[in-house]
Structure formats: C-alpha cells, structure tokens
Amino acid sequence: MQEQFLQQVRRRRSFAIISHPDAGKTTLTEKLLLYGGAIRLAGSVKSRRAQKHAVSDWMEIEKQRGISVTSSVLQFDYNGYCINILDTPGHQDFSEDTYRTLMAADSAVMVIDCAKGVEEQTKKLFRVCKMRGIPIFTFVNKLDRAGKDPFELMEELESVLGIQSYPMNWPIGTDGNFKGVYNRIKSQIEVFNEGKHGQSIVESVIGDVKDEVFKDLLGENLHHQLMEEIELLDGAGDDFNLNKVLKGELTPVFFGSAMTNFGVRPFLESFLEMTTPPMARMSNRGEIDPESNNFTGFIFKIQANMNPAHRDRIAFIRICSGKFEKGMNVNHVRLNKAIKLAQPQQFLAQDRAVVEEAYPGDIIGVHDPGIFNIGDTLCQDNSKIQYEGIPVFAPEHFARVYAKDSMKRKQFIKGIEQISEEGAIQVYKRPFVGVEELIVGVVGVLQFEVLQYRLEKEYGVEIKMQTLPYRFIRWVEQDNFDYDRFSLTMDSLIVQDKEEKPVVLFENEWSIQKVEERNKSAIMRSISRKD
C-alpha cells in the first residue's frame, strides 16, 4: 500500500503554463494534451480559447457555464508520469487568478513569442514564479515564423528577467524555414516532417548531428550554419546545472512551434525529466513532506456559480501531502472544525468527475457552503498545520462603488463580500468612514464589469461605479501606525484593506517615492503577505 502511495506521489508533475496573451499558451496546452493522448485531434479545446475574449463573451459563457470552460486542471498520463496542467485564464485581466494558481503549481512553463520576446505580462507572471522560487522552463514559440535571433532572445531573458538561461535545444533554420532542433544534451539532431497543419503528432528523423543524412535533409548551408552555432553555444554559455534549475535560478530554454508541433515532444520529454514531483511545503510547523501519510492541502481558488441552476461555490484544493479519499473527514484549521469532504470533484479536460482518491500534486474541487477562504488549510489529523498564506496581489485599477438603490444596501454588501472572498476583487474602506464608501481594486478592468454583472444577476443589485485615477498600491508596515500622522502627497489616498491594514493608493511612481521619503520608518510593500 505504502509503496503504491509513494509511487503515485513521485509520478506527479503539476505545473502551470504562463504567457503574455497570444504567445501560444492555449496552443501549447492543446499540443501537450495531444501528445499525452488526452485528445485525438488538436483544436478540440476550443472552449478554453473562448475564455480570453471580451467580457460580453465571458458573460455569454457564464450563462451557459458548463464545466468545459471552467475546468481547473487538465490531467493525463504520459510515459508513466501523471501530469496536472493547472489551468489559468486566457485573458490578462483575470491574471490575478493566474497568480494564485501559481501558488498551487510545482513549476511553470513560460511561453514566449519568438518575434516579440519578453512581454509585459510575461514579466509580471515571471515575478510571481520567482517569488515562489519554483523551476521555470521556457518555450520559445512560433519558430515557424520570422522572429528575433535566438542568441538575442537568450540575451533578453537574462537582461529583462534577470534569470540565467540555458538552451536545451537549438532551432535549425529560422525565419520561416524551421526544420528541426538540435538537442544539446544528447548531441542529437531532430528534423521534423511537415505534418497535417499540426493536427496530429509530427514525424521526425533523429540521429547524430554529424550523420551525412542531415546534410542532405537540411542542405549544406543550413547544416554548416548549425555546426557553427553549436560551437558558439558550447564555447560561450554557462554549464547546465540542474540544481539551479530546481531553485528557479536558471531557466532551460526550448525552441519550437506549438502550431506545427515542431519541438513539442522533445520539450515535453525533457521537461518531465527535469521538473520536480510535489516538493515539501512551508507551514507553521516547518516543512511538510508530501510523502507523509497525513492528508493536507490548501484552498487556492474559489469559484462561484459553476452551475447556474443551483448557486454553488466550488473551492479548489491543492493536495500537499497524504492520500485523499472520498468522504474523508478533515480538520478545517482556521475554523478549528471537522468537515467531511463528501462530494469531491476533479475537473478534468472536458468534464467533471467524482474522485475516489487523489494524491499530492492533484487538484480537487469541493462544494463550498461559504466556509472556505482562499489560503485555508485542511488537514487530516489534529496537527493544526497551516500552510503559508497566499499573498494578496497588487490591484492596478480602483473604483468607488455604490448600490444605485440604497434599500438594497444589505445585498450589496453581501455580494461584495462574497465576490471578494473568491478573490475576484479586493475591497477597501476609508478609515473613519467605513462601509459607507467602498473602494474596489482589481488587477484587470474586465473584473469591474464582471463585478457589475454578477451583482446584478446573482444579488439583484445595480451599482454605480466611479473609477479612480490610482494605479499603484502599497501596504504600509510601521510600528505604532497612526492615520493622522502618516504623511501623504496630494494625489495619494489612504485606505484600509479587509484585515484593516493600512494601504496607500497612488497615481504614479513618483508619489510612491515621495511618500516613502516622508515616512522613513514605514515599510511599503507591493504584495501583502497573509500570515
């Protein structure tokens, strides 16, 4: 039994795919499923693609919300591994959801468009990975098209993101002439045959780089160029160091084209070999070993109204240790209360299924009757383990929000509270003013529209919204903090977060600096760590 449990833990690989919109995250996810045998023909994960469109589409999707669009994990087996791809929303306005999902992942795959390089959203998502110290693997995508020089891209990773990089493979033929990749570890060359527009698995010829066959396949010039580049790479770069990869200090880089499937399999196989199974996680009781028999997990995401017919909320649990079994009793550590996990569900590629058992690295969803908060820990025995909290990420847009009809104030407050518990918005109050004036902060503006829509549909409250000019937020930490004595600039505003911690909103970075200078003993943080 124990042997089987350990085997299940060790074969798990749970990761998230991150990218700036349009770099190819959806396409790569789809291709990984194709190679994993989870789907027959690529192109069937359409509903996920719909996720990233405008809010009107989001609402339309919401109306008929089937699980296919809100699936939370894509699980499949490949070469003996059990892979969990943690799903993240396509639209960047919902990236807060992605940040939290990264808290539940053991590693991340960063997709970069070879023509665009490191983009804005990539930088933000990268910072979250970096904060967690998880391994980050880079897939440079769209090599079938003209792009930046591969050497330049490597340079960009280092200069823009500040992470060392090591090309695991090297593209052969760029600018619309992508033929294959050279595997640096195996000194092997892999030349792909044209597939059926990337719908099915692509065939390839693999062999020693010096083999004459490749001179014929690639042509004298391309082969010669490759040999020169290999020499350059071997002479110039750092050595490969798996330890650094696992600490998130070095990113292995793969070149490929998700659309044509070129380079997808070599990437997947090499990635799976290098990335980690579930690792020990920090808690108030020190590190918790995933292979311990005590079931533990934490809630990283709450989603309301998965099924519009009955207004339910689903709390998603990342299992950190022990074996999960359907119907088991666990301790809800924050409430110090025993609860039964009766209707656990796993949200797989296309549908939801009741899970009988699950292991560290897996994600399960349980019905939430309003008892869960993001960051809550569940634990089988009475050890009262509490995992490190999920940080609150900095919103970038703010608005004052009122109920149009003051008679509906109660529902309004309830709706705002529930939606904020899901982490879809953050709510602030003015000190000394209280709930009479609420300020809502969001990471992406579409979240405002979703808030408006949901308050109307789910709580029957119409709202008025007045957008505010603030763009930055800082949590203030200071001994003996005093609202009256804290010195602000004209264009900044002090508010309180849900936990009544002082928070300052700013219009620009210049005023952050000013306020820092004027309040030297205060520490200003752009992320609020929950303890």
Can you give the binding site for ligand GDP, defined by CB under 6 A? Answer: 19, 21-27, 49, 52, 90, 141-142, 144-145, 257-259
Residues forming beta bridges with residue 182, ordered by sequence position:
170, 189
Q: Look at the alpha carbons of 398, 422, 512, 127 in this order and tell me if their dihedral is positive or negative.
A: negative
Contact 78, 107 (CB under 8 A): no
Shortest separation between residue 25's beta carbon and ligand GDP, angstroms: 3
Start-to-end Cα distance in the chain:
36
Q: Is 89 annotated as a binding residue?
A: yes
Measured from the CB atom, the residue of 43 and 207 that comes closer to ligand GDP is 43
Q: In this structure, what token pair is assigned to residue 451?
A: 């808030």
Q: Is 142 annotated as a binding residue?
A: yes
Measured from the CB atom, the residue of 98 and 420 that comes closer to ligand GDP is 98
Measured from the CB atom, the residue of 132 and 145 that comes closer to ligand GDP is 145
Shortest separation between residue 198's beta carbon and ligand GDP, angstroms: 8
Backbone angles phi, psi at 338, to 5 degrees: -85, 135
Measured from the CB atom, the residue of 32 and 450 that comes closer to ligand GDP is 32
Q: Look at the alpha carbons of 375, 105, 311, 458 in this order and tell me if their dihedral is positive or negative.
A: positive
Shortest separation between residue 49's beta carbon and ligand GDP, angstroms: 6
Q: Is 20 annotated as a binding residue?
A: yes
Closest CA to 340 of 349, 331, 350: 331
Q: Is 26 annotated as a binding residue?
A: yes
Shortest separation between residue 449's beta carbon and ligand GDP, angstroms: 20
Measured from the CB atom, the residue of 27 and 107 that comes closer to ligand GDP is 27
Shortest separation between residue 254's beta carbon and ligand GDP, angstroms: 12
Shortest separation between residue 86's beta carbon and ligand GDP, angstroms: 15
Q: At what angle do helices 95-104 and 120-132 cross, to 10 degrees?
A: 30
| DSSP calls for 348-367 | -SS-EEE-SEE-TT-EEEEE
Residues forming beta bridges with residue 492, ordered by sequence position:
506
Measured from the CB atom, the residue of 144 and 362 that comes closer to ligand GDP is 144
Q: Is 143 annotated as a binding residue?
A: yes
Shortest separation between residue 351's beta carbon and ligand GDP, angstroms: 22
Measured from the CB atom, the residue of 87 and 144 that comes closer to ligand GDP is 144
Q: Is 210 annotated as a binding residue?
A: no
Cβ-based neighbour number of residue 513 at 10 Å:
13
Closest CA to 380 of 332, 435, 439, 441: 332
Measured from the CB atom, the residue of 250 and 259 that comes closer to ligand GDP is 259
Shortest separation between residue 201's beta carbon and ligand GDP, angstroms: 15
Task: Determine the distance from the C-alpha atom of residue 245 to the mean position of all C-alpha atoms in its chain, rounded to a whole number.
Answer: 18
Q: Is 90 annotated as a binding residue?
A: yes
Q: At what angle do helices 446-459 and 409-421 cross, to 10 degrees?
A: 130
Per-residue CA distances from 437 to 416, 434, 452 (Å): 12, 6, 16
Find the length of the chain: 531
Per-residue CA distances from 181 to 147, 173, 178, 485 (Å): 16, 9, 9, 62
Per-residue CA distances from 83 to 47, 276, 428, 451, 456 (Å): 21, 11, 39, 34, 39
Shortest separation between residue 153's beta carbon and ligand GDP, angstroms: 15
Q: Is 23 annotated as a binding residue?
A: yes
Tell me which residue has tokens 């508010």. Answer: 495
Shortest separation between residue 151's beta carbon and ligand GDP, angstroms: 20
Measured from the CB atom, the residue of 139 and 506 that comes closer to ligand GDP is 139
Q: Quote the CA–CA distance of 338 and 277 in Å, as a whole number.
A: 29
Q: Which residues contact 224 (CB under 8 A, 6 or more apart)?
A: none
Q: Is 88 annotated as a binding residue?
A: yes
Q: Quote the CA–CA distance of 197 and 193 in Å, as a whole number.
A: 11
Q: Quote the CA–CA distance of 426 and 385 in Å, as a whole number.
A: 27
Measured from the CB atom, the residue of 113 and 421 that comes closer to ligand GDP is 113
Annotated binding site for GTP: 19-26, 87-91, 141-144
Annotated binding site: 19-26, 87-91, 141-144
